[in-house]
Amino acid sequence: MEKKLKLGIIGLGTVGQGVVKVLSGMHDIEIVCVAVKNLSKKRDISVDSITDNPLDIVNNPDIDVIVEVAGGLEVFDLLKIAIRNKKHIVTANKELLARHGSELFDLARKNNVVIMYEAAVAGGIPLIYPIKTSLSANVFSEVAGILNGTTNYILTKMEEENLSYDECLLKAQQLGYAETNPKGDVEGFDAMYKIAILSNIVFNKRIDIGKIYHEGITNISSIDIKLADEFGYKIKLVAQAKKMCINQESDMLDIRVHPVLVSKNQSLADIKNATNAILLKGFPVGEVMFVGAGAGEFPTASSVVGDILTIKSEIKEKNKILPMTVCHHSEYAKQINIDDTVNCYYLRINAVNTPGTIGKIGLACGKFNINLSCILQKGVNDDRSATIIVITEECFEKDINLMIKDVEKTSEIKVLNRIRVM
């Protein structure tokens, strides 16, 4: 009779319940115990053994694999105990991996166990395993995508229903796409953790998340959405990482998260609502895109259970894990400061409607070596001020910041928003 793979699960929220439901029909896998914070909380499912002390699970000698779907950083010490106890780890915890992955992977290698984390980056989209297997022949130059469904839903509704950011955020919260405190999503933290993990895999370097520039969507208005559309763009929160050559130093990484104007001709512009999409560029594959559900009970459970089955198949066949599942690199990437990046920019400016105003903006751009692709006055407002839209050619981030500071020296001109153009 085939030996059952024995699991301990930490967390029984939306994803945890999905995992239990998917595993319910698999007779060769046994859930030994589940750890929760609140034993009295009502849930849609029941499990045979439940505890509010996760140490009961990580120290249980009968358990082969710890499935961590609780989230947060509180589980860090628990997983270290589990790894020292020679237990394999399956996790969906992107913040934990982005902040403490280096220590956990080193510890796992030392104890001959693995950490599987397909669900940590894009929910139900198969991404990490394909990169490590089917795409392993490639040298990648860039990875970019829409990695947060909450912000993409908000931006989609702002565009399609001409609603304000606050109205769309409330809708997202009512539908369960956004938390009561949405900071992690709308300020770019969630996407930052995910692009850090992806960069680690794609470029085989460890990533310092403290050096990743991140900016959310809280400053995007329906006016910006409408004006972007008129110029042939959609506004998306994009996480991206690409190889750059700065000051003759190659293989530096430009890793960041922020809103961008995406041309309607680009595939990312068509990604709507809570859908995620990840674009990879490399040789010899060229470009390849992964699209699907980036969150949710069953999409995320699909990836978690897939990792569990991968571990089971390897234990069954060889009593050891495939080498490709182990983190072998230890060198940290050289990361570019956002000030040294080169971008095109969209500027929405409010100015006193007097002769020579556009000229002043043009002179300020020229002063800092910024060429203009477009400058357009969009009529006169009720208070007799003018809305002026500027789209620049490529220039350094530090130069656009100096230009904005210079043009705002007087009270006549105010840059209300600055968005990079992809």
Work out the average pLDDT over 145-172.
94
* Per-residue pLDDT at 323: 61
Where is 376: in which H helix or E strand? strand 372-380
Work out the average pLDDT over 229-255.
87
Work out the average pLDDT over 270-278.
95
pLDDT digits (tens, 9 = 90+) for 340-377: 999 999 999 999 888 888 999 999 999 999 999 999 98
Work out the average pLDDT over 15-19.
93
pLDDT interval class at 410 (50, 70, 90): confident
Work out the average pLDDT over 210-218.
96
What is the CATH topology of the domain spanning 5-117? Rossmann fold (3.40.50)
Question: Among this protein's residues, is 236 annotated catalytic?
Answer: no
CB contact at 8 A, 65 and 89:
yes
Q: The whole model's pTM is what?
A: 0.93
Number of CB atoms found within 10 A of residue 188's CB: 27
Work out the average pLDDT over 382-396.
92
Range from 73-87, 94-108, 325-339, 344-358 carrying the lowest mean pLDDT = 325-339
Pair of tokens at residue 227: 């004006």
Work out the average pLDDT over 241-268.
87
Contacts of residue 255, defined as CB under 8 A and 6 or more positions apart, other chains included, come to 195, 196, 199, 207, 211, 212, 213, 240, 241, 333, 335, 336
* Per-residue pLDDT at 27: 87
Work out the average pLDDT over 322-335.
75
Work out the average pLDDT over 66-89.
96
pLDDT interval class at 337 (50, 70, 90): very high
Distance CA 220, CA 331 (A): 37
Give Cα 125 to chain centroid, integer Å: 13
Number of CB atoms found within 10 A of residue 415's CB: 19
Work out the average pLDDT over 88-101.
96
Distance CA 311, CA 321 (A): 7
With a cut of 60, say whether residue 206 has pLDDT above it: yes
* Per-residue pLDDT at 332: 87
With a cut of 70, say whether residue 84 has pLDDT above it: yes
> Of residues 224 and 320, which shows the higher confidence score?
224
pLDDT interval class at 180 (50, 70, 90): confident
CATH architecture of residue range(s) 341-421: 2-Layer Sandwich (3.30)
pLDDT digits (tens, 9 = 90+) for 105-152: 999 999 989 999 999 998 899 999 999 989 999 999 999 999 999 999
Q: What value does the mean pLDDT of the chain take?
A: 92
Work out the average pLDDT over 220-241.
96
* Per-residue pLDDT at 105: 93
Output the CA–CA distances (angstroms, integers) from residue 143 to 132, 209, 280, in the order listed: 14, 16, 5
pLDDT digits (tens, 9 = 90+) for 36-47: 998 888 888 888
Q: Domain residue spans in the chain?
A: 5-117, 128-292, 341-421
With a cut of 90, say whether residue 330 has pLDDT above it: no
* Per-residue pLDDT at 319: 54
With a cut of 60, say whether residue 249 has pLDDT above it: no
CATH architecture of residue range(s) 128-292: 2-Layer Sandwich (3.30)
Pair of tokens at residue 112: 């001959």
* Per-residue pLDDT at 326: 66
With a cut of 70, say whether residue 317 has pLDDT above it: no
Contacts of residue 161, defined as CB under 8 A and 6 or more positions apart, other chains included, come to 168
With a cut of 70, say whether residue 230 has pLDDT above it: yes
With a cut of 80, say whether residue 163 has pLDDT above it: yes
Range from 46-50, 234-238, 268-272, 405-409 carrying the lowest mean pLDDT = 46-50
* Per-residue pLDDT at 294: 86
Say what percent of the chain tops pLDDT 70.
95
Residue among 157, 194, 236, 312 flagged as catalytic? 194
Output the CA–CA distances (angstroms, integers) from residue 198 to 73, 129, 213, in the order listed: 19, 11, 15
In the numeric block, the tokens 């034993």 are attached to 39
Number of CB atoms found within 10 A of residue 360's CB: 16
* Per-residue pLDDT at 263: 97
Contacts of residue 264, defined as CB under 8 A and 6 or more positions apart, other chains included, come to 232, 233, 234
* Per-residue pLDDT at 384: 83
